Amino acid sequence: MEKMKKRVYSGIQPTGVFTLGNFVGAVRGWPKLQEEYDCIYSVADQHAITVRQNPADLRRQSREMVALLLASGIDPQKSIVFVQSHVPAHAQLSWVLGCFCPFGDLTRMHQFKEKSAKHPEDINGGLLTYPILMAADILLYGTDYVPVGVDQKQHVELTRDIAQRFNGVYGDVFTIPDAMIPKVGAKVMSLQEPAKKMSKSDSNENAVVRVLDEPDAILRKFKRAVTDSEGSVRAAEDKPGVTNLMSIYSVCTGKTFEEIEAAFAGQGYGVFKQAVAESVIDTLRPFQQEYKRLLADKAYLDGVMADGAARAAALAARLLTKVYKKVGFLQL
C-alpha cells in the first residue's frame, strides 16, 4: 500500500509582489515540494486586513497571487490552491482556538510588538489575534509541516502549544505541526544596502528587484547597484555589494564564484552589472510569460479558485465538525 504523503500548508498574503530573493529562495522550489508532499497553498486575504486595504486592490491582488502561484509551477491538480476567505472554516476554527490561547502568549509575539511599535495609531484586535487565525489555517488540514522563515517560527510554536493544550483536554484531535525552515540557499541582499536582505517592503525601489519588473527596469536597477571603488569582480567580506551581485549571477547561471571571477577579470563593474541584469531577465522571462498568460484567462483562474476552495472546504469541514462536537456545540 502506498504511504500517505506528509502534508504541507503555506499561506501567502496577497499584498506585495515576490522579490528576486523570494523567487530564488522559495518560489522556485515549490514545484519540487509538491512532488514530495501533499501541498495546500492559501492566498491569505484575511490576514492582509490587519492593515487597512483598498477593497478593489485586495480583490485584484488576490487573483494575481493565484496566478503567481500557478506561474511558479504549482499544479492545481497535484496541490490545492485557494483563497482563504472562500473557506469560512478558517474564521470558525479561529474563534474556538482563541479560547485555548492565553492573552499573554499573544502579547509576547515578536511581530505584534514590532507592528504595534511601528503603527501605534492602529493597534487593532486582528493584529493581536493574527497568530490564532494562522493556527486555524494550519490545524484545519492536519498539517505536518509549515514552510516559514525564522521570523514566523514563533507563530508555529504557538500553534503547537494551542493544539497540545486542546488535545490535552479532548484527546488527539489536532496533528502537531513542525516548522519547515527552508535550507538557506543564496541569500539575495538589497542592491542599495548590501548588508540588508532584499525586502518587498523597502521604500527604495532601486534596492529591490521584483519578479514582475520589466527588463528595462531590471537593467536600470542593476546598473545603479552599490559596489565599491576597487573595480575588480571578486567575492570578499569587505565587498558586500559585489559579492551580492556575484551570488545572484551564480544562482541564475549555475557558475561558481571562481568561474565568475575568471570570466570578468579586468573588465570592471559596468560589464559585470549588465551581465548580471541579463541573467536575471533570462531567469524571470518564462515565469513572467506564464503569469501574463494565466492572468489573461479569467475563466481558468476562477475555475482553479472554485475547485481549490471546494477541496479545501471538504477537508476543513471534517476537522471543524470534530472540534465542534468535542467542545459541546449542538449539531443539527
Report domain extents, the chain. Answer: 7-185+297-327, 205-291
Residue 306: predicted pLDDT: 98
Q: Which grid coordinates belong to 18?
A: 515576490
The residue annotated as part of the active site, out of 200, 223, 255, 326, is 200
Q: β-strands 38-43, 7-12: how paired? A: parallel
Residue 275: predicted pLDDT: 97
Could you tell me if 144 and 176 are in contact, meaning their C-beta atoms sit under 8 angstroms apart?
A: no
Return the closest-CA partner of residue 26 out of 236, 156, 186.
Answer: 186
The residue annotated as part of the active site, out of 5, 113, 153, 197, is 197
Residue 186: predicted pLDDT: 63
Residue 94: predicted pLDDT: 97
Residue 185: predicted pLDDT: 53
Residue 2: predicted pLDDT: 44
Predicted structure pTM score: 0.88
Residue 83: predicted pLDDT: 98
Residue 154: predicted pLDDT: 86
Helices (H), the chain: 20-25, 30-36, 45-48, 55-71, 89-98, 103-107, 110-118, 125-139, 153-170, 215-223, 240-253, 257-263, 268-296, 298-327
Cα angle at 316 between 35 and 130, to 5 degrees?
A: 95
Handedness of CA 76, 315, 153, 39 (dihedral sign): negative
CA 88 to CA 258: how far, in whole Å? Answer: 53
Residue 216: predicted pLDDT: 97
Return the closest-CA partner of residue 309 out of 88, 94, 143.
Answer: 88
Confirm whether 273 is a catalytic residue.
no
CA 205 to CA 253: how far, in whole Å? Answer: 25
Which amino acid is located at 260 in the chain?
Answer: I
Could you tell me if 177 and 146 are in contact, meaning their C-beta atoms sit under 8 angstroms apart?
A: yes
Q: What is the dihedral of CA 182, 46, 19, 35, to 10 degrees?
A: 40
Local confidence pLDDT in tens for the 332 residues of the chain: 344 899 999 999 998 788 998 888 778 888 889 999 999 999 999 999 988 899 999 999 999 999 999 999 999 999 999 999 999 999 999 999 999 998 888 888 777 777 777 777 777 878 788 999 999 999 999 999 998 877 778 889 999 999 999 999 999 999 999 998 766 556 799 999 999 989 888 889 999 999 999 999 999 999 999 999 998 999 999 999 999 999 999 999 999 999 999 999 989 899 999 999 999 999 999 999 999 999 999 999 999 999 999 999 999 999 999 999 999 999 88
Confirm whether 115 is a catalytic residue.
yes
Among the four given CATH numbers 1.10.240.10, 3.40.640.10, 3.40.50.300, 3.40.50.920, the one describing domain 205-291: 1.10.240.10
Q: Give the class (CATH, top level) of 7-185+297-327.
A: alpha beta
Confirm whether 6 is a catalytic residue.
no
The residue annotated as part of the active site, out of 3, 32, 113, 115, is 115
